[in-house]
Chain A
Amino acid sequence: MEKVDDVLADLLSEDIVVITDRGVRKCRLLHQLKEVWRGAEAVIYRGKLLDMDVVVKWRFPKPYLPREFDEMMRRKRVIDEVKTSLRAYAAGIPVPLPLYADADRGVIVFQYIEGEVLRDVVDTLDTPTLCRVCKELGEYLGKLHEIGIVHGDYTTGNVIVHGERVYIIDFGLAMFSKRLDDHAIDVHIFFRSIESTHIGREETMKKCFIEGYTAIRKDVARVVLSKVDEIRKWGRYVAERKLRSVWMGS
């Protein structure tokens, strides 16, 4: 399999002349890459871009995909992730700023956000704190939807908390959409991520999330939430086999 060191060889060996009020010096463009997470479609490295702490998100080639298809997908996702992140950042939603991107190589360099992934720390938070965080998450999702962005993977695994601050990360499945059906799917995904991983805290988390979401979206929130109910009631979720066809492999 390909390695990120090869993919980014030129950046990793490039020196930049940095001029500051303290003088002139040479600095590696990108250095000290260290793998910190291997996900379903990307590997995340910590490192430095000049003097800044960054993370590098590299969408690696998938050997189970035809090459052409793989390249198309990775390129599209890099572009969508950068565009939606920048738009969210501009709207004042706390997201890591993309500093550098290369769609051909499947790479984005983001500002590093200090803190912990919410999913890993939910159990350590007391109820008022958890409520505050979830309310903020509701507000941020409400704002994203108001500016026409669907996050696509709004789960507690894609939230970083640091003291009082809450950041939304991973716009890898995000897109622009004003359709309320798409907004409802975002909320549904958030609810289900809670139900499948934070058993016992669902009630607080949902209630406070809805509070935040409604504060931003006002009347629209009601429409979206009723669509969420529809998805959950009528979706495949219930394992109903209404349209079941006959492919029995025999």
Chain B
Amino acid sequence: MKVLGIESTAHTFGVGVVSDEHEDFILADERANYVPEKGGIHPREASRFLAEKAPEVLRRALDSASISLSDVDAIAVALGPGLGPCLRVGATVARALAAFFKKPLVPVNHAVAHIEIGLRITGARDPVIVYLSGGNTAVLAFLKGRYRVFGETLDIALGNLLDTFAREVGLGPPYVVGGFHVVDRCAEKGRRLLELPYVVRGQDVAFSGLLTAALRAYRQGADLEDVCLSLREVAYNSIIEIAARCLTQTKKREVMVVGGVAASPILRAKFETLAKIYGVDMYVVPPKYAVDNGVMIAWTGLLAYKSGIVIDIANAVIRQRWRVDEVDIPWRR
């Protein structure tokens, strides 16, 4: 079986083709990334970029898989969560293809897809999932047929925290240089730990108070390197703590870290220590598949399609706030 998947929830238009017939399950993986000149994403500008790139990315994917659309068994598309204008681009393309080539259309939740591709690539089976993308921070685990949210950020995401701090103090953009976040780099020379607010509530974290306090400390003349060190320690360790809480509560034996921020070697080292303390296996999804891509949509679409999940073209509407724990996962027990 072959499935083509379309990702267009935020800044990436991605088309992937996967198959369950080979060990090398990825037949095509093409992407176009919208990089804003500065600041965050402007949804309308991003969607214009995605719409412009869509035909070309689709063509490249079909070429590299050496197939035509009539060869695929189903078309999968990420219908949410994400930015409305961006989601609409992917949904429109997918509906048109499904109608024209008379293919079943499979709805995919973007967050579920991040998890599923992570499991497929790392070989983890039933881990505590720490999801750290630029705009989201959450701890999840599979329980009774769904991925349940055990903890999350109550305000801004870890990636946002680091990027915003870096921008405000003039360390970035770019935020990642040579695989290290500029805040990680700056922290290397830090000596003194300042007292900054460490907020863990239940299994949730919150970072906006930390951001404000760190910026205030810097503006009041504290050494930038000390502020970076303190900020990083507070932020990373609160993530480690909520992951540990989920591990002890669910008694799972694995932990999987996914998302762009997972690329931080410092954070990874902390997770390794954590895994050792609890005697669990640790997996990190490689950056290439931890960021948005079409392969993850195709792969999740394939799992879903095999479980009989399809959607009428007329009902294939986008869902900007589609929660991960609203999605049934019939392919896992």
Contact = CB atoms under 8 A, between A and B. Distances in A.
Interface stretch (B65-73, B89-97, B318-326): B318-326
Nearest to B141: A196
Interface string B283-326: 00001101100000000000000000000000000001111110
B148 A195 contact: yes
B176 A69 contact: no
B154 A185 contact: yes
Contacts of A241: 9-10, 81-83, 133-136
Contact of B137 (A73, A236, A248, A249): A236
B136 to A, nearest CB: 6
A41 B11 CA distance: 38
B138 A236 contact: yes
User: Secondary structure at chain B's binding surface: helix, strand, loop or mixed?
Assistant: mixed
A24 interface: no
Q: Which of A68, A73, A192 has the most CB of B within 10 A?
A: A192
Nearest to A157: B249
A163 interface: no
A171 interface: no
B291 A244 contact: no
Interface residues of B, number: 74
A69 B187 CA distance: 15
A208 B267 CA distance: 41
B88 to A, nearest CB: 15
B11 A68 contact: no
Nearest to B200: A173
Nearest to A250: B287
B136 A239 contact: yes
A238 B9 CA distance: 14
A199 B162 CA distance: 35
A73 B193 CA distance: 12
A185 B133 contact: no
B175 interface: yes
B2 interface: no
A46 to B, nearest CB: 18
Contacts of B203: 189
Nearest to B262: A249
Interface string A120-157: 00000000000000000000000000000000111101
Nearest to A189: B202
Contacts of B163: 245-247
A72 interface: yes
A23 interface: no
Interface residues of A, number: 45
B261 interface: yes
Given A236-B154, A241-B135, A196 B233 contact: no
Contacts of B10: 241, 244
A19 interface: no
Nearest to B249: A157
B168 to A, nearest CB: 13
B212 interface: no
Contact of B144 (A185, A199, A238, A250): A199
Contacts of A25: none
B152 A240 contact: no
Interface in A25-41: 38-41
B135 A72 contact: no
Contacts of B143: 196-197, 199
A195 B151 CA distance: 12
Contacts of B274: 64
Interface of B: 9-11, 33, 35-36, 40-41, 81-83, 110-111, 133-138, 143-144, 148-150, 152-157, 159-160, 162-164, 175-176, 179, 181, 193, 195, 198, 200-204, 233, 237, 240-241, 244-245, 247-249, 260-261, 263, 269-270, 273-274, 277, 287-288, 290-291, 320-325
